[in-house]
Amino acid sequence: MENIVTGDFFDRVLEVLKKAREQAKMALNISMVYSYYEVGRMIIEEEQNGKQRAEYGKAILKELSKRLTESLGKGFSVENLKLMRRFYVVYSQDQIGQNVSTQFENLPVTREGRKFFLSFSHYVLLMRIPNIDERHFYEIEAVRNGWGVKELGRQYDSALYERLALSRDKEGIKRLSAEGQIIEKPEDLLKDPYVLEFTGLPELAKYSETDLETKIIDHLQEFLLELGRGFTFVGRQVRFTFEDEHYRVDLVFFNRLLRCFVLFDLKIGRLKHQDIGQMQMYVNYYDRKVKLEDENPTIGILLCKNKNDAVVEMTLPEDNNQIFASKYLTVLPSKEELKKLMESEN
């Protein structure tokens, strides 16, 4: 099987890659993503034009890898060429909303009408997600939030899609895959559970609420990533005085999308009705004394190790849309364990 890669085929593949290297670098190497997609197409077409044998396809990839490496250097191993081929197979039949970010309005479009917004490393990770709706969600969120590959991997490993999807009806799940996470009302901010594995606190060891708060502040960037879109940090242990008594809110944030303060109170044990009453007082104070007239009502979130949903529901008013309770985990479970945990709560 010597020289099964024809000179014409090799020259065309080489030309595609050379043109990509000559172009000015686009953000996140997007130009190379399009070239890899096109190379994947060319490999598929060449294989289909040849003998219908697995050995033939392997031989094409082996020789193409050798000659591209000689011409262009590293990056064209057989495994990488297989990824390019798979990239075309997956994404030639895959579409998401094309207006996920105005900064990418002028991107080229493949002949199938697909745009690419992320680096090839992002798409290598995304291709591993078999659920197409879940894959679309993570692609949209990675573009919208500027996630690097590490951040994308962390959000996938922490089952962000499942944590959001299990609290929504079928229409809401469909919207997640088409538009990503849309923040329109307080409930849209919530996750249950929150995953705080970045704190490094062991799941069963004893630690204080101060320890948990300190670890969150030490890893504020990771905590903001877990909270989601629009959050800005205001302060920790924010004090206010009411009727000559001093009170402190553990963590105070402001959400720019909902234009409201978001207060967090940390509880390392089981949530009690007194904790909910205390948060109600914090929220009332911020609504009446701190927020501006054009800002929306304050949201209070109690992060706890354990909670009884019936107690939470009975303590809060029926039309509550300001105070919420969510569990947190300090050790990242497997996706299967996390899904079972969430399903047991629903």
Q: What pLDDT was estimated at residue 99?
A: 58
Strands (E), the chain: 194-195, 231-242, 245-255, 260-270, 299-306, 323-329
pTM assigned to the model: 0.79
Which residue is listed with tokens 């999807």? 165
Q: What pLDDT was estimated at residue 17?
A: 87
Q: Which of 125, 124, 126 lies closest to 135 in space, CA to CA? A: 126
Q: What pLDDT was estimated at residue 172?
A: 82
Residue-by-residue DSSP string for 5-17? S-HHHHHHHHHHH
The three state secondary structure string of 265-297 is: EEEEEECCHHHHHHHHHHHHHHHHHHCCCCCCC
Could you give all domains of the chain from N- to C-terminal order, each with its CATH number? 7-128 (no CATH), 183-344 (3.40.1350.10)
Instruction: Tell me the pLDDT of the chain (346 aa) as tens digits.
Output: 567 777 789 988 988 888 776 655 555 578 889 999 999 999 998 888 766 666 777 888 999 999 999 999 999 999 999 999 999 999 998 877 655 655 566 778 888 888 898 999 999 999 999 999 999 999 999 988 989 999 999 999 988 998 888 767 788 888 888 888 889 999 999 988 899 999 998 876 678 999 999 999 999 999 999 999 999 999 999 999 988 899 999 999 999 999 999 999 999 988 998 999 999 999 999 999 999 999 999 999 999 988 888 888 888 888 889 999 999 999 887 777 766 766 665 5
Torsion angle of the four alpha carbons 144, 148, 151, 156, in this order, in degrees rounded to the nearest 10:
70
Cα–Cα distance, 264 to 30 (Å, whole number): 39
